[in-house]
Amino acid sequence: MSQPAYRQGRRAPITRAPCLWLTLGLALLLTGCSSTVPLDETALPVPSAKPLSADVPSPDNTAYDPKRNDLALFALSLLDTRYTWGGRGPATGFDCSGLVSHVYREAAGLPVKGSSADLGQKSRPVDRSRIQPGDLVFFNTLGARHSHVGIYVGGGRFVHASNPKTGVRIDQMNNRYYAQRFEGAGTLLD
């Protein structure tokens, strides 16, 4: 009696039926993952159990806007990208203003350039209680006005290129460090 192919050190032939079912199952799984839906801000993980302060908008007080949704989703897709001072792309890394420039160019087709302070001057001010996904949030982290910028993604959270240790990350607006350094919000959208 002959031994099976795998016992003889040879590859066993793969039948087409299991491969077909595996391929079909994988295709169905990936199709389900590829659908685009509006950003459900309540589905994103909240790192802190603390309630949001009253002056941070909830997802309920903003209408769905595809451009804002695209900005927020694209910013979220860049989480964990490395930080590079002066960096302007995912291959080289980002600093805070480079992240904003890249997200606005790629997700909204808007050519946005400049430092975080420049972005603060170019943006139209937005009251803290009216911040919407895609708006910019500014902080004084270096003892200078608008020395840091991030992109608000909803639910009291913003994405930013923080520092070389953490890279692009998401933080709460009511995080003690950022809440104490918050200087204002602005929009570059119509």
pLDDT tens digits, 86-122: 999 999 999 999 999 999 999 999 999 999 999 999 9
Say yes or no: domain 66-187 is CATH 3.40.50.150.
no
Residue whose token pair is 């990936």: 30
Reading the block at residue 42, the tokens are 């309540």
**What is residue 9's predicted lDDT score, i.e. its pLDDT?**
54
Structural contact between residues 71 and 151, judged by C-beta atoms closer than 8 angstroms: yes
Which two tokens mark 112? Answer: 């946005």
Confidence of residue 64 (pLDDT cuts 50, 70, 90): confident
Strand 157-161: give its sheet, edge to edge: 124-126, 182-187, 136-139, 148-154, 157-161, 168-172
- pLDDT higher than 70, residue 187: yes
Active site residues: 96, 148, 160
Quote the CA–CA distance of 150 and 140 in Å, as a whole number. Answer: 12
pLDDT in tens, 3-39: 544 445 554 454 444 444 444 444 443 433 333 334 4
HEC-encoded secondary structure of the chain: CCCCHHHHCCCCCCCHHHHHHHHHHHHHHHHHHHCCCCCCHHHCCCCCCCCCCCCCCCHHHCCCCHHHHHHHHHHHHCCCCCECCCCEECCCEECHHHHHHHHHHHHHCCCCCCCHHHHHHHCEEECHHHCCCCCEEEECCCCCCCCEEEEEEECCEEEEECCCCCCEEEEECCCHHHHHHEEEEEECCC
d(CA 93, CA 108): 20
